[in-house]
Each structure stands twice: as structure tokens, then as C-alpha cells.
Amino acid sequence: MKNGHSGSRTFGPILLLNEKLMTVALTHPTRHNISKKIYFDAGNPDVLDLIRADAKYVLDVGCGGGSLASNLHERGVIVDGITISDAELDQAKPFLRSGYLYNLEKGLPQQISCKYDVVVCSHVLEHICYPDKLLADIKKVLAENGTLVVALPNIMHYKARIQLALGNFNYQEHGLWDYTHFRWYTFKTAKQLLESHGFVVNFASVPITGELPFNSLLKRVLPLSFRKKCFNILAKISKGFFGYQLLYIASKAEDISNRNSAMQAA
């Protein structure tokens, strides 16, 4: 097969993420079976926009129910995916060349030996207690000049800040307060995480969409077009305050170094 990978599905062990997850499972008996938890939506358009148009091979790390893979599949992209949930993998299979049932706390499955143009971690790293091994493995499977696309929930979004100021930190099934989130990142610390693991961040931003604080009151006196314009300006000024998710494109540091050396030699 092309890219050094067979088309067969590969399945590995499912393990509880760590003792904290076990504690949550015991506290919430209906949430004990992580292997049955499914994340699926219509796809994250902000993440899709960051995937290069010329990408042929993509690894979807934490593929959920296949929402991203299904969109890429329609583009003709070859997608491999990884999840800890067998229920998610069953749902994602139609859009994957190869699917892996694996605990990302241990890094990437050893069976992965091919190279990818793009590796996607869309709302994944916040679920990983110790991301060092995972990020190191991602570097190994990125093709030369390949890119890592990362999306993270923003704990410093103004709505989250209000809840924290009120003393609220209530776990939920999905969203920012998902009970399987173990790490929370800010716009600055997420960039530092990638840089400290041998990546160069080429793009760091937030979606320029959302609502102004006190929108329920403002919409009574200000037209929608003006509110959107105000939000766009404010989000550019303070990404960490107004962005509900954090978006990054990163390259391997050695690729950037090699590229610069080649340009200087020319």
C-alpha cells in the first residue's frame, strides 16, 4: 500500500486514563465506561480550514465518531484515526483507512509507521495528563514539512472566567467542563507546550466568531452587524479573553531550520 501502511484495521488495549478518571467514574456511576463515550458533531469548521488543501494523508488523533474524518474523506483525503472508545471507532470506521483503539497517554500506537502530511489534535490534548510521549511520537510520524493542527478549549474565555469568579467548577458531559479534561490551557501556555516539544508555531489564533459579554442586553440596543464588528475587533485585541477555542498550526523545528539553511545556501 502507498505511504507504507496497510488498509487493515488495528485494535489495541483500552485502559483507564489514570486514577483521576477512575475517581470520576466512581463518583459518577453513569460515566464509568469511557469505551462507550462518543464525541460526534458536524465537524469543526475552524479546524478544517487549517488543514492544507494539498494534504493527502492525515492522522486524526482522537478522531471521535469521525466528524472530521468524514469531511476529509469527502475531499479525497486518506485518513487514519485513533480513539480510546470502541463505540467511537465503530462510528468512524466508514471514513478511515485504518482505525486504532488505543490509549493516547501511551503515545501513538506502535503499528503506525507511515508519514502524514497533517496530524490533527482537535480537542485532544486537554484529555491527556502527560502529553510528552504523544507529542514526541507525533513528530516522528509527520512527513518532512508536515504540519500539526491543534485545537483546544479556552479555560480563560470570558464566560469561563465568570463561572470561576462565581466559584463554579462543575463537570459536565461535554464542552469546556467535560469530566475527562485533565489539563487546561491558555492562549500563551498552549503555544509554550508545543514549542517546548520541538515544534515551531506558525499560526496561533482564535475563531473570530462569538458573542459580546452581556449580549442579551446589548442585542436590544445594538444591531447585529455592529455587535459582530465589535466582537471581531475585541477578539483580535485579546484572543485569550474572547476566543472560545484556541487554534494552532505548528511545524517540526528541524524542518524550519533545514528550510532556512537551504534558503541561505541558495
pLDDT for position 42: 61
124 burial via Cβ count (<10 Å: 0-12, 13-18, 19+): buried
Greater confidence (5 vs 121) lies with 121
Give the predicted TM-score (pTM) of the model: 0.77
Residue type, 166: L
Q: What is the pLDDT of residues 195-254, one digit of tens each?
A: 999 999 999 998 877 777 777 788 788 888 888 888 778 878 778 777 778 999 999 988
- C-alpha to C-alpha distance for 61 and 143, rounded to whole angstroms: 16
User: pLDDT band at 23, cuts 50/70/90?
Assistant: very low
Count Cβ atoms below 10 Å from residue 20 Cβ, excluding itself: 13
State the pLDDT at residue 234. 80
Residue type, 122: S
Beta strands in the chain (DSSP E): 10-11, 57-61, 78-83, 98-101, 116-122, 142-153, 199-205, 245-252
Radius of gyration of the chain (CA): 19
pLDDT band at 14 (very low <50, low <70, confident <90, very high): very low
End-to-end CA distance of the chain: 36
Residue 74 CB burial class (10 angstroms; 0-12, 13-18, ≥19): exposed
Longest C-alpha distance within the chain, in Å? 63
Burial group, residue 45, by CB count within 10 angstroms (0-12, 13-18, 19+): exposed
> What band does 38 get if pLDDT is binned at 50, 70 and 90?
low
Q: Mind listing the pLDDT tens digit for each residue in 149-187? A: 999 998 877 777 777 788 887 776 666 667 777 888 889
Q: Render pLDDT for 89-114 as a digit per residue (tens, 0 to 9).
A: 999 999 999 999 999 999 999 999 89
Tell me the sheet residues that pair with 204.
Answer: 248
Local confidence band at 261 (pLDDT 50, 70, 90 cut-offs):
low
Residue, of 237 and 35, whose pLDDT is higher: 237
